[in-house]
Structure formats: structure tokens, C-alpha cells
């Protein structure tokens, strides 16, 4: 079974990544930060975790307010460093762990935490600033990553209690994973800081020390605090420390404090905390999952995370039919667009042949197919008939209103039909 080796709490300020890239290890302003990470680095080298489950927040880099999620789980095969405006840092991509991510997602949803899922989005300094200090990575990362992005920028944000409970659910999820994996939970953010308004530059080292005490010994007290209380004590942006409660919730009642450090050079109280889970796995009962055989209905292909990850490019190609230029180019010269698409030959052929059954079996989602049909000026029923191995007439005669045909194509913008 998988086991949680321990948890790390760390600041994610971009300055620490910057200091690393600029080789500021000997600079008196930065040296204390590097010194604080040394014991954590050494511990990670000793423990060699198979996976780091990293809780961070994006800073309107890869997630924006057109769709903002509370809890977004990274399910992809790899995670790259995001460009935050001045070019991306020269860090290698980190391998993901889609299989573990899918297991965690299934268990969290069964535990009533409805997650959102992302892939192919760069991770910003929220994740990679601390990761780059925690691991040597010149020759590639020595571990894999499952990231969890928490939406802490746009209010209302999840409560501290919700995060604490999510951590407990995460523990049940991880400890029920059948493979023998060692996993470290890394939480990022804070401590005290405020970066906007007249209170910009606010810090409270005494509160930061108390926060760390409470996190170790009495996390329930922190879990009872409102966002306003956390913001009042630590500065508005410091309320992102709710992410540390997810990590703490995933650990044993009494973890061992292996390392604890605090340094306040400028805007943010930079803390590092390493908690080791020496008690081993809990006897928590995993949640009851839906019997997977109930998803195995005849002639049905449920769209699951593994299908989504494996067929991202195919589904993206179909989804891009919502873009006028993409569909115009497709209609103008389908073969050229397909040849340029980077899709596997098999996917290209399935699209060329309008092989709806083949596309579904391959892992296309139906709602991409209906976009393709709309572009081709075909009704949805063409797809339904094709998937059932019938002619359009045969399929339509099975409907209560055989003359009702429709597609998702708009009628008002110059379409002839
Ligand atoms: Fe932040």
C-alpha cells in the first residue's frame, strides 16, 4: 500500500527561485534561506519519495477568472514550468502520476470532495519555487508530481475547515492506493504577508510562530479560524496558509518535527517545516467506492481521467472546432489540417473516415464529435446512427418524432440550412 512518509510546509515566494537561479547561495541576504532548505533536501534524498503531492496556488498564470476552481487536481503525464511574463525558468518538466491522481480523484469524490481536473497547464512559482529548492534537478527530477491547485485568490475561497477535512480525505485516498509508493505531501504559501493596499508590507513574526505551533500541536484550532481572522493576524495574502492545513490533515495525529525554520527578509515570512509521519499508515477505513463494474455497461465507454489524459490531443482537435479559423481551415483542406495536427495517424484516419464508433472507442468524447458533425453540416443523428451501425433513416424511425433532426450548429450566422 502507498504510505505518507511526511509533510513539508514551505513558502512559495518567487524570490527563492530567483535567488537559486541567480546563484545567491553565499549572499548574506539569501544564505539563511538556502540553509533552511538543507535539512529538508537531505531528508528527501534519504527518503526518496516516489511522489510529491504538492499543494499550491496559481497566481493568475495558468488559471484565470474565466473559470476559477476551488480544488484543481493535476492529472497529466507531465508538468512544465509556466512562463509568468518574463520567460519560463529553465527547469526540466516533472513527470506526473496520472494513475495515482485518478485513484485520489475517485476517492475524494466518493468522500464528497468534488474536484476539478487539469492537465497541460504550466505550474507557476507557487509550485516550482519551493520544488526547485527542495530537489536537485539538473539531471531531471528524482520524483514524480501530483499537484493540487487551490483557488485562494477570488473570494469566497474554501474555509480552513474544508481544507483540513480535505487533508483527512486525502490521507484515506493515498493510504488505499494498492501500489507500494512513498509519498510526501508538500504544502506551500505564506506565512504572514500582504501585497496590496495600504497594509502592503504587513508582517507579524509572533503570529507566524504561533501558527507553526498550532499547525503541529493543535491544527483543529486553526481549522476553526475564518479567512478574515487569518487575514487579520497574518495579512490578507497570508490566508493562503489554509493550504498547509490540507497537508497537516493528511498526517498522523502526532507527527515528528524534523526541521522548523523562519526567516523574514522582506515581504513574506519564509518558513520551512518538515513533519515526519513515524506512526505509519492509519487504520482509517477507505471510503466505499462505486463498484467499478457498474461503469462497465454494455456498448458504453465511460469518459474517465485515464481516457482523457491518453486522448487529450484528439479531444482538443475536436474541441477546437469552436474556433472559426480552425473549422474554416478544416473545411478548406481537411487533409492538410490533419497532417499538421500532430495527431496519431490512427486518429487522423478515424476523423477522415467519420468513424464515429472508432472515435468513441479510441477515447473521443461525444461532445467533440457533435462539434465535428456541426462543422460538416450534419445532424447529430448521423453520429447516433453510425455508432449503432444503422442508416440515418433506420435510426430516425426508432425515435418518437422521426422528422426531428438537430445539431449544435448555429442557424443565424449565414449558415444556409
Ligand atoms: Fe502566493
Q: What is the rounded average pLDDT of the residues 76-102?
A: 97
How far is the centre of ligand 1, averaged over its atoms, from the C-alpha of 59 (Å)?
Answer: 7
Map out the domains of the chain as residue ranges: 3-276, 311-397
- Mean pLDDT for all residues in the chain: 94
How far is the centre of ligand 1, averaged over its atoms, from the C-alpha of 371 (Å)?
Answer: 38
Burial of 162 (0-12, 13-18, 19+ CB in 10 A): middle
**pLDDT value of residue 417:** 46
Catalytic residue, from 12, 107, 193, 326: name it.
193
- pLDDT of residue 416 exceeding 70, the answer is no
- Same CATH fold assignment for domains 3-276 and 311-397: no
> Tell me: domain 311-397, CATH 1.10.700.10, correct?
yes
CA atoms within 13 A on the CB side of 129: 27
Q: Does residue 153 come out as left (phi exceeding 0), alpha (psi in the -120 to 50 range) or beta?
A: alpha
104-117 pLDDT, tens digit each: 999 999 999 999 99
Report DSSP letters for 263-310, one per residue.
Answer: E-SSSS-EEEEEEE-TT-S--PPPPPPPPGGGG--TT-----HHHHHH
Q: Which residue has the higher pLDDT, 240 or 406?
A: 240
Q: Is 59 a catalytic residue?
A: no
Q: Which residue has the higher pLDDT, 381 or 298?
A: 381
How far is the centre of ligand 1, averaged over its atoms, from the C-alpha of 144 (Å)?
Answer: 22
How far is the centre of ligand 1, averaged over its atoms, from the C-alpha of 340 (Å)?
Answer: 39
How far is the centre of ligand 1, averaged over its atoms, from the C-alpha of 207 (Å)?
Answer: 18
Q: Is 193 a catalytic residue?
A: yes
308-360 pLDDT, tens digit each: 999 999 999 999 999 999 999 999 999 999 999 999 999 999 999 999 999 99
Closest CA to 10 of 133, 189, 213: 189
The Cα 31–Cα 25 span in angstroms is 5
How far is the centre of ligand 1, averaged over its atoms, from the C-alpha of 189 (Å)?
Answer: 5
Question: In CATH, which of 3.20.190.10, 3.30.1240.10, 2.60.40.10, 3.40.830.10 is domain 3-276?
Answer: 3.40.830.10
How far is the centre of ligand 1, averaged over its atoms, from the C-alpha of 305 (Å)?
Answer: 28
The Cα 97–Cα 79 span in angstroms is 10
Catalytic residue, from 97, 125, 137, 196: name it.
125
Closest CA to 273 of 284, 282, 283, 261: 261
Which region among 12-26, 237-251, 261-275 has the lowest average model confidence (pLDDT)?
12-26
Amino acid at each position: 500500500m502507498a504510505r505518507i512518509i511526511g509533510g513539508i510546509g514551505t513558502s512559495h515566494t518567487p524570490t527563492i527561485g530567483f535567488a537559486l537561479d541567480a546563484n545567491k547561495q553565499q549572499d548574506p541576504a539569501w544564505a539563511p534561506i538556502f540553509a533552511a532548505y538543507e535539512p529538508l533536501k537531505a531528508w528527501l534524498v534519504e527518503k526518496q519519495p516516489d511522489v510529491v503531492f504538492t499543494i499550491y496556488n496559481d497566481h493568475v498564470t495558468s488559471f484565470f477568472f474565466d473559470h476559477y476552481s476551488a480544488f484543481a487536481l493535476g492529472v497529466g503525464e507531465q508538468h512544465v514550468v509556466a512562463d509568468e511574463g518574463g520567460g519560463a525558468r529553465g527547469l526540466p518538466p516533472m513527470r506526473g502520476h496520472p494513475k495515482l491522481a485518478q485513484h485520489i480523484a475517485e476517492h475524494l469524490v466518493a468522500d464528497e470532495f468534488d474536484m476539478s481536473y487539469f492537465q497541460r497547464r504550466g505550474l507557476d512559482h507557487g509550485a516550482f519555487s519551493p520544488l526547485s529548492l527542495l530537489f536537485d534537478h539538473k539531471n531531471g527530477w528524482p520524483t514524480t508530481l501530483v499537484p493540487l491547485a487551490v483557488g485562494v485568490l477570488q473570494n469566497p475561497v474554501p474555509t480552513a475547515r474544508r481544507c483540513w477535512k480535505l487533508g483527512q480525505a486525502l490521507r484515506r485516498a493515498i493510504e488505499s492506493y494498492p501500489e507500494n509508493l512513498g509519498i510526501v505531501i508538500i504544502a506551500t504559501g505564506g506565512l504572514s504577508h500582504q501585497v496590496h493596499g495600504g497594509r502592503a508590507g504587513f508582517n507579524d513574526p509572533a503570529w507566524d510562530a504561533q501558527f507553526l505551533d498550532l499547525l503541529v500541536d493543535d491544527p483543529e484550532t486553526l481549522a476553526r479560524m475564518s479567512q478574515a481572522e487569518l487575514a487579520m493576524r497574518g495579512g490578507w495574502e497570508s490566508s493562503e496558509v489554509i493550504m498547509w492545513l490540507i497537508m497537516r490533515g493528511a498526517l498522523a495525529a502526532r507527527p515528528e518535527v524534523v526541521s522548523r525554520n523562519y526567516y523574514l527578509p522582506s515581504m513574506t515570512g519564509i518558513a520551512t517545516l518538515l513533519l515526519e509521519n513515524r506512526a505509519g499508515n492509519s487504520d482509517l477505513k477507505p471510503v466505499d467506492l462505486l463498484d467499478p463494474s457498474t461503469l462497465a455497461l454494455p456498448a458504453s465507454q465511460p469518459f474517465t481521467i485515464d481516457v482523457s489524459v491518453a486522448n487529450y490531443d484528439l479531444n482538443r482537435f475536436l474541441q477546437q472546432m469552436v474556433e472559426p479559423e480552425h473549422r474554416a481551415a478544416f473545411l478548406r483542406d481537411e487533409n492538410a489540417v490533419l497532417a499538421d495536427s500532430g495527431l496519431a495517424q490512427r486518429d487522423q484516419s478515424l476523423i477522415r473516415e467519420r468513424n464515429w464508433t472508432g472515435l468513441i472507442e479510441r477515447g473521443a468524447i461525444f461532445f467533440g464529435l457533435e462539434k465535428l458533425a456541426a462543422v460538416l453540416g450534419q445532424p447529430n443523428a448521423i453520429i447516433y446512427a453510425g455508432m449503432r451501425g444503422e442508416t440515418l433513416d433506420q435510426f430516425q424511425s426508432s425515435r418518437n418524432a422521426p422528422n426531428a433532426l438537430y445539431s449544435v450548429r448555429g442557424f443565424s450566422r449565414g449558415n444556409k440550412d
